[in-house]
């Protein structure tokens, strides 16, 4: 038992870090690809963290109503889902508006030199 997990380290790694993170990444990508706002992503990640905690309870005999361990899972999954959302949104903006924006990193874009952003 540790601060991050309540069952076993292997169970935490398999369920939360691997499976939960893959689902969170896919959730972030799906929200970005459908142009959903961040509040929707936070809601979906909240629901995903509840599902991960339930699976920890059902498969590894963890504590179901542990706020501490749910919060750890939620923060971790939210970080992964936000990363997936931002990487996908950056690719969308630079691909769909290539005459206007250029990618500066996997997480950001900027206005191309000489371009004028009328909407902002």
For residue 2, pLDDT beyond 80: no
Asked if pLDDT for residue 11 goes beyond 90, the answer is no
pLDDT tens digit sequence for 83-97: 999 999 999 999 999
Q: Map tokens 């498969």 to a residue.
A: 59
Sign of CA dihedral 51, 52, 57, 58: positive
> pLDDT tens digit string along 50-66?
999 999 999 998 888 89
Distance (Å, whole) CA 92 – CA 35: 10
Residue 42 has pLDDT above 90, yes or no: yes
Residue 115: predicted pLDDT: 80
Percent residues over pLDDT 70 in the chain: 97
The CA distance from 112 to 5, in Å, is: 46
Residue 64 backbone phi and psi in degrees, to 5: -70, -45
Q: Is the pLDDT of residue 49 over 90?
A: yes
Residue 3 has a pLDDT of 74
SS3 102: strand
Residue 1 binned pLDDT confidence (cut-offs 50, 70, 90): low
Tell me the domain boundaries of the chain.
Answer: 9-111
């Amino acid at each position: 038992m540790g601060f991050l997990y309540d069952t076993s380290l292997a169970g935490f790694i398999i369920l939360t870090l691997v499976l939960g993170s893959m689902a969170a990444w896919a959730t972030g990508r799906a929200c970005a690809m459908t142009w959903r706002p961040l509040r929707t992503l936070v809601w979906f990640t909240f629901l995903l963290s509840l599902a991960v905690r339930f699976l920890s309870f059902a498969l590894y005999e963890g504590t179901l109503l542990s706020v501490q361990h749910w919060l750890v899972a939620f923060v971790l999954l939210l970080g992964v889902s936000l990363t997936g959302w931002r990487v996908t949104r950056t690719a969308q903006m630079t691909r769909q508006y290539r005459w206007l924006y250029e990618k500066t990193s996997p997480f950001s874009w900027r206005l191309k030199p000489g371009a004028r952003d009328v909407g902002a």
